[in-house]
Amino acid sequence: MYISPHFTMQEACKSATAVRLGIDNYPPALLLPSLKATAQNILEPARDHFGVPFSPSSFYRCMLLNRAINSSDESQHRKGQAVDFEIPGISNIVLAHWIKDNLDFDQLILEFYQEGDPTSGWVHASWTPTGRRNQVLTIGKTTSLGLPKLSR
């Protein structure tokens, strides 16, 4: 089932960790609108702009999976509102800057990017139907976006 023109429900709930631990990571039906909106407002514009097919590395996470990877119970991934991704051949800092400059989002985090290694880290972006903060952060050693650094 497609949740947007280029992204499927299978991609939204895939997780090697869930498979390894035997966790059913299929989202409840009430989250379908959030998954569709996140795909439509974050993933599709990036896919259209860069013209490169890609699959998210982390999108929906059920509570068990979220806890298994030591993420916050309040994570927007649990609501189908956040997605982590990279685009093959595109530096993660270029992707993060493009999202920052071109999309309306709730939160954008360049995670664990290292100067000089364009494929390091990944981009986390979230979308909410209302009250979008347009908050931009980095996690890790870099502050390449020139904005606040979030520590874990």
CA distance linking residue 20 with residue 17, whole number of Å: 5
- The residues, any chain, with a CB within 8 Å of residue 43's CB and separated by 6 or more, are 4, 6, 7, 56, 83, 85
In angstroms and rounded to an integer, the radius of gyration of the C-alpha atoms of the chain is 15
Residue 125 domain-assigned (yes or no): yes
Query: Per residue in 87-144, pLDDT tens?
Result: 999 999 999 999 999 999 999 999 999 888 888 999 999 999 999 999 999 888 665 5
Q: At 150, is the pLDDT very low, low, confident or very high (cuts 50, 70, 90)?
A: very low
75 φ, ψ (degrees, to nearest 5): -55, 135
Domain count for the chain: 1
What's the domain range around 21? 9-150
Alpha helices in 74-150 (DSSP H): 92-102
pLDDT attached to residue 50? 98
CATH number at residue 127: 3.30.1380.10
**Would you say 111 and 82 are in contact if contact means Cβ atoms under 8 Å apart?**
no
In a domain, 3, yes or no: no
